[in-house]
Amino acid sequence: MNNPATGGGAGTPVSRRMLFAYALPAAPLAALGLPLYSLVPTYYSETLGLPIASVGWALLLVRLFDAITDPLAGYAADRINPSFGRRRLLFLISLPVAALSALMLYWPADGAGIAWLTGWGMMTSLGFTLAVVPYSAWGAELVSDYHGRTRLTSAREGLTLAGTLIAIVLPFAIGFEQRGFSGLAVLGITVAVTLLAFGGLTVWIVPEPANLTRKPLPLRQALSYLGRNRPFLRLIAAFFLNGLANGIPATLFLYFVSARLQLPDMRGPLLFLYFLSAVAGIPLAALMARRLGKHRAWAIAMIAACVIFSAAPLLPAGALVSFALICALTGLLLGFDLTLPASIQADVIDADTAESGDQRSGFYFAAWGLATKLSLAAGVGVVFPLLSVFGFDPAPAAQNTETGLFALAAIYAWVPIALKLAAIALMWNFPLDEAAQKTLQSRIRQ
């Protein structure tokens, strides 16, 4: 077995082989998580014919379930200490849970309704949480260097985008709008198989990081330190706002292209272009972070996204080239959203570890995971009922009014811009830069 001490050493570089082995499960995890918000609502409402407002409420219930499971998973990830490794064990346990849930949610039985969506949505989210919390903490502790963490998150998010592209291509290439064995079902099978295979390989190759906890804290005291961690509070607020800003368009993308732009056959290609462009954005984000610092590079990328995205509601029907350009440019900037906040998260945990003496990466990543899911759920739970109020009908053959279509366009683009502006204000003068992070690492390893 690998020596756990080889990971997490101060300034210890991680080999490319180990970096790739660590990043591998990110692909099936992305293909597991993305459809729950971008494809499942459309499939269950359009293809299975469930009411759009009911689908929104069902997914909101799933996120409320996360409010319980995420903190528990984070606490367990930090407090269990088996010889096999606290990060590796919980991640390994999660793999069969997530694989089975993907099959059931993305390949629904005949007659599946809201109860099926809610129940298997909860199980999918649970499997995802049990995997992502220890997996993220594992990566944060594997590398301690300020820019080395960006290198690790770049590798992981690059594989995340690969999984995202698979999640987009498979359903539409095989047949998304059909009952039974659809493209979404094929995606569920693919996720189940690759998650078990890639996750097992990661557990076999990647070592458990060194546990730098000096004194484990009781839960109440741990929460007190978390509440006093100002960089964490500032980052998680910006993270939530930006996540909501990204989640609303992700939820409404298929509807916007079909109903507003009247280009239903281009939904898959445009979504593919968006995420493919993000692949190019990842190395650009790493380069900008080296020159400007992670928080400033992220803030500038969000400003650029606001400027570009502001034109989307003004596009007329059939504006394929213009919207494709918007997709490409905002996709490029998505690479910043994926890479830099995840790297800053690890730095924020250092602030807590240096102050409290308790390395609780799992608990912190559970909080960030919950913020992500709540932001996406708020998008689903709010925009669908809101669209219903304005009379928007998601059915493929529906004849929507101008009011309904304008509401769709405004909620799709202008509401997210307002949210991103608030996130930018929080991150522009963020206090944790490279010098501050190096000081924190010195304190932790004294």
Check residue 396 and give its pLDDT. Answer: 67
Q: What is the pLDDT of residues 85-132, one digit of tens each?
A: 888 898 999 999 999 999 999 988 888 889 999 999 999 989 998 998
Q: What is the DSSP letter of 82?
A: -
**Other C-beta atoms lying within 10 Å of the C-beta of residue 262:** 13
Q: What is the pLDDT of residues 357-386, one digit of tens each?
A: 888 888 888 888 778 777 766 776 778 788
Measuring CA to CA, how many Å separate 361 from each of 28, 146, 155? 23, 16, 20
**Across 132-141, 188-197, 381-390, least confident range:** 381-390
Q: What is the mean pLDDT of residues 316-327?
A: 94
Q: CA 57, CA 350: separation in Å to the nearest integer?
A: 37
Q: CA 179, CA 108: separation in Å to the nearest integer?
A: 9
Check residue 352 and give its pLDDT. Answer: 85
- End-to-end CA distance of the chain: give it in Å, rounded: 28
> 3-state class of 114 per DSSP?
helix
Q: CA 367, CA 64: separation in Å to the nearest integer?
A: 14
Q: What is the mean pLDDT of residues 389-403?
A: 76
**Across 4-8, 76-80, 243-247, least confident range:** 4-8
If you write DSSP's letter for every residue of 278-297 in order, what string do you get? Answer: HHHHHHHHHHHHHHH-HHHH
**Across 50-54, 135-139, 257-261, 412-416, least confident range:** 50-54
* Residue of 396, 407, 61, 35 lying closest to 53 (CA atoms): 61
Conformational region of residue 264, where left means phi above 0, alpha means psi within -120 to 50, and beta covers everything else: alpha
Report the run of H or E that residue 58 belongs to, with start and end: helix 52-79
**Cβ-count burial of 130 within 10 angstroms (0-12 exposed, 13-18 middle, 19+ buried)?**
buried
**Other C-beta atoms lying within 10 Å of the C-beta of residue 154:** 22
Check residue 7 and give its pLDDT. Answer: 44
User: Are 108 and 121 a contacting pair, CB within 8 Å?
Assistant: no
> Quick one: pLDDT band at residue 241, thresholds 50, 70, 90?
very high
pTM over 0.85: no
Among 161-170, 300-309, 340-349, name the most confident range.
300-309
Q: Which two tokens stand for residue 157?
A: 């998010």
If you write DSSP's letter for every residue of 361-377 in order, what string do you get? Answer: HHHHHHHHHHHHHHHHH
User: Are 77 and 362 a contacting pair, CB within 8 Å?
Assistant: yes
Asked whether residue 390 carries a pLDDT value surpassing 60, the answer given is yes
Check residue 409 and give its pLDDT. Answer: 87
Q: Which two tokens stand for residue 233?
A: 């509070």
> Quick one: pLDDT band at residue 4, thresholds 50, 70, 90?
very low
The hierarchical CATH code for the domain 15-444 is 1.20.1250.20
Asked whether residue 1 carries a pLDDT value surpassing 50, the answer given is no
Q: CA 248, CA 252: separation in Å to the nearest integer?
A: 6
Check residue 3 and give its pLDDT. Answer: 38
Check residue 242 and give its pLDDT. Answer: 93
Amino acid (1-letter code) at residue 53: A
User: Are 311 and 409 a contacting pair, CB within 8 Å?
Assistant: no
Q: Name residues whose C-beta falls within 8 Å of residue 230's C-beta, 6 or more positions apart in sequence.
A: 431
Where do the domains of the chain lie?
15-444
Residue the block writes with tokens 């991150």: 427
Q: What angle do CA 80, 141, 29 make, to 5 degrees?
A: 80
Check residue 430 and give its pLDDT. Answer: 94
Higher pLDDT, 176 or 255: 255
The percent of residues above 70 in pLDDT, for the chain, comes to 94
**Cβ-count burial of 390 within 10 angstroms (0-12 exposed, 13-18 middle, 19+ buried)?**
middle
**Other C-beta atoms lying within 10 Å of the C-beta of residue 200:** 14
Mean predicted lDDT score pLDDT of the chain = 85
